[in-house]
Structure 1
Amino acid sequence: MNCKSSAELKALAREKLKGRYAIAIGVLLLSGLITLPVTLIAALFYNENNTTSVIIYYVIIIIISLLSTVLGVGLIRFYTNLCRNKNYQVSDIFWGFSNHPDKIIIIAVLISLMGILCYLPAILLVAAYAVTKSISIVLMAIFAFIAGFVLVIMINLNYGLTFYIMSDNFQHSAVEALKACRTMMKGHKGRFFYILISFIGWQLLSLLSCGLSMLWVEPYLFSTVTYFYMDLRGELRETIAKDTNEVIESEHDYHFQ
């Protein structure tokens, strides 16, 4: 398969976002505003000296995480519609709530559990150090944390497009979507990793604007990853051809007028 380079995918993303940044930013803001009130409620409940308060706080945090995950699938739906030249609208972000949110949550939980298992040896070693105070255990714990971090990255690369697959094939079970993603990513994890780290510079620069520039970076990242997914599915050539034809037709109409 003749895959597109990271630069080519980014160029497609920039071209697609021309004249569409307003709605892309609006969708991001809306998803953030939906979770903000719940986050504020959690902060009001938190009191480290009250066990009940701490429990309520973490329950609310879990709810926020699940809500954000389902909204995140809606964002994916928005960008796949946008990049495929389909009808896209702000209401796309609520798509996950009416299309098997249970499967979305199960996928998120399974991926989270895999991540926890990666760090479990390090956590156990830290607990052992609390008892033994052994320096050798500290060194082992550091090594275990590094190994766990690498494994978590591999998990994210293997299953990073699972929600894209679920968005396209919501008849799949959660496990089927995970397996399909792992199969799709074979031989492409390095390219996916390169695409993701290429945005780190932009994300770090956004700190200078107190995160405000992320409103421009995130649509760029979402669009690029969406085109990467479409490239793996082999549907990108047809989409590009359609975009080119639309540009030619619009230019022809302009000159005719």
Structure 2
Amino acid sequence: MINRAELKRHARNQLKGRWGIAIGAIIAVFLIQMLFNFITRIFEDNNNALAIVLAIISMIVSTVMSIGMCRFSLNYAYEDRDPEFADIFSGFRVILKAIGLFFLLGIIILIGTILLIIPGIIFSYMFSQSYYILADDNSKSVIQCLKESAGMMKGYKFKYFVLLLSFLGWIILGIITLGIGLLWVVPYMNVTTASFYLTVKNNYYQSNSWLNE
């Protein structure tokens, strides 16, 4: 059973007294991504080949940092763990898997979108937990992450959509404050979605107890 209010309450409780490191992590990831984007734009008019290489590197760094942020958010969502700033770089430990997951996800969603827009949207929600799965257990393969995400999201895709939609007002408010409010909104949203992952993960393993054997 997914209770949006409970997930959000849990996220707020886990962030209480620990907002500083959460906001610091968001700023760090933003600055790193902006730096790579800035460097890419400098060279895109003068050296197309170098610009392409830098764009690929920027995309890889962004993907790896996304895995790191998932790990960081999970360490808030877990009640028996403490988040560390270094968590945001943890994705580099599984950089090849992160790249593989990014490209495979992109291909699957692209194919679904080409066929019809709706399948692409469904696929994006079906495999939405893949990054969290890899961040939670680095030993899992790309295919395992996709397969388990599809299993976890059975019956929960629309609930996840509604959960994300419930943050729309907060996001708009964050934008109105020239982005300053997003420093609080983004960690709040990230820890809530991490808590959602833990819930569907527990439900999935309880329904498929043989996976733990």
**TM-score of the pair, normalised by structure 1:** 0.73
1:162 aligns with 2:130: yes
Q: CA deviation at 1:206?
A: 2.0
**Aligned partner (choices 194, 214, 219) of residue 182 of structure 2:** 214
Write the mapping of 1:20-31 to structure 2, written as runs, cut at 5 A: 20-31=18-29
1:73 aligns with 2:63: no
Write the mapping of 1:1-257 to structure 2, written as runs, cut at 5 A: 3-47=1-45, 53-84=47-78, 85-98=80-93, 100-120=94-114, 147-148=116-117, 150-234=118-202
SS at match of 1:4: coil
More deviation in 205-214 or 23-32? 205-214
Counterparts of 1:225 and 1:37, CA distance in 2 = 27
Q: Which runs of 4+ in 1 moved over 6 A?
A: none
* CA distances 1:4-33 after superposition (whole Å, capped 9, x unpaired): 311111111112111111110001111122
Q: Which amino acid aligns with 1:204?
A: I
Match of 2:207 in 1: none
Gaps of 5+ in 2: 204-213
Contact 2:72 2:83 in 1 (8 A): yes
Q: CA deviation at 1:116?
A: 2.5
Identity score, percent: 32
Q: CA deviation at 1:119?
A: 4.0
Gaps of 5+ in 1: 122-146, 236-257
* CA distances 1:159-207 after superposition (whole Å, capped 9, x unpaired): 1111111122322211111011101111111111110111112112222
Match of 2:209 in 1: none
Q: CA deviation at 1:81?
A: 1.4
RMSD: 1.8
Q: CA deviation at 1:55?
A: 4.1
Counterparts of 2:110 and 2:50, CA distance in 1 = 22
SS at match of 2:140: coil
Counterparts of 1:210 and 1:73, CA distance in 2 = 27
Q: CA deviation at 1:107?
A: 0.6
Counterparts of 1:165 and 1:61, CA distance in 2 = 26
Alpha carbons of structure 1 residues 87 and 16: separation in structure 2 relative to 1, 3 Å: closer
* Count of matched residue pairs: 202
